[in-house]
Each structure stands twice: as C-alpha cells, then as structure tokens.
C-alpha cells in the first residue's frame, strides 16, 4: 500500500520544496554580455535586488535568459523559476504566463494547472508582504519587454 494514499502529500510542503530547490540550485543565474533586454528592479521593503537579461531571436522568442541579484529566498527562487519558464517562449507566451502568475499570487481563483511548478508560488498569496518578492523577477521581464517594445527594434 502506498503511504501517499494514507497520508496525502501536503501541497504547502510540496510547494516549499519546489521553492527551496530553486533557491539552492538556481536556473539561469549569471549575466549576458549583449542582451536584447536588460532590466534591474529593487524591492526596498525586503532588500531584494534583481537584474534580468533576455536575448530575443528574430521571431521574438526568448533565446536566452539570465539573472543576477541578491535577496530573500522567495525572490531568488522565483527568478530561477522565471528563467526556466520563459526560455524558448515567445513574448506573447511569456505575457500569458506572467498574467496567470500575477492573478494566482493575488489569490484570484482560476485554473493554474498548466503553469506546472510555477503553481508553487500560489502559497505566497497568503503572505501579502512576500508578493513583491515573488513578482520581482516577473516585473523585470514585464517592464523590460515594455521598454523594448516602446523603443522599437534597435538594429542600427
Ligand atoms: Zn524578498
């Protein structure tokens, strides 16, 4: 008999494990020499600093993504999760993921199964003070992409 059947997996614990795993073994940590998009933001209430680098290909897909910064485990883990989630995606797909994350973190009901491990961030909705930590990486992407679109394509 499976012990899981007797003791259902505690989702909060599972989510904490996902976040801890990303914190310990971050994806995409580092800098990119010549990014298409670079955006730095801070979260003064917690002391988190983050810079996100994106390289877009000719189809406006994320060919590469990296980030560097310092801060709490939530901000660092979500930067790692963001990097893993957006790589290879089009800007439209990135935007769709981002809107789901924002809705979920704000505690809005919805179907978040298709965002996979990013559901781990849903627990943050219960801790309003951590919402800014969990959305910092996504705000870097959002504002960076916005500036890129407003600035047009700078290929000389
Ligand atoms: Zn933080």
Expressed in angstroms and rounded, the spacing between residue 3 Cα and the centre of ligand 1 is: 35
For 59-91, what is each residue's pLDDT tens digit? 999 999 999 999 999 999 999 999 999 999 999
| DSSP secondary structure of 68-115 | EEE--HHHHHHHHHHHHHHTT-BHHHHHHHHHHHHHHHTT-----GGG
pTM above threshold 0.85: yes
Alpha carbon distance 28, 130 (integer Å): 22
Per-residue tokens: 7 = 């003791």
Expressed in angstroms and rounded, the spacing between residue 130 Cα and the centre of ligand 1 is: 6
Nearest residue to 62 via CA among 95, 26, 100, 40: 95
For 46-60, what is each residue's pLDDT tens digit? 999 999 999 999 999
Expressed in angstroms and rounded, the spacing between residue 79 Cα and the centre of ligand 1 is: 11
Expressed in angstroms and rounded, the spacing between residue 70 Cα and the centre of ligand 1 is: 9
Cα separations (Å) of 73 from 35, 80, 94, 143? Answer: 25, 11, 23, 22
């Amino acid at each position: 008999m499976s012990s899981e059947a007797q003791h259902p997996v505690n989702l909060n614990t599972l989510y904490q494990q996902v976040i801890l795993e990303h914190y310990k073994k971050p994806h995409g940590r580092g800098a990119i020499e010549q990014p298409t998009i670079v955006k730095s933001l801070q979260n003064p209430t917690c002391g988190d600093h983050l810079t996100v680098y994106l390289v877009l290909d000719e189809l406006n897909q994320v060919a590469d993504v990296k980030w560097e910064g310092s801060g709490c485990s939530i901000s660092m883990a979500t930067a790692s999760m963001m990097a893993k989630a957006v790589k290879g995606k089009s800007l439209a797909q990135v935007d769709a993921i981002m809107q789901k994350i924002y809705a979920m973190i704000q505690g809005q009901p919805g179907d978040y199964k298709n965002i996979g491990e990013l559901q781990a961030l849903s627990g943050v909705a219960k801790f309003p003070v951590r919402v800014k930590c969990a959305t910092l990486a996504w705000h870097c992407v959002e504002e960076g992409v916005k500036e890129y679109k407003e600035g047009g394509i700078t290929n000389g």
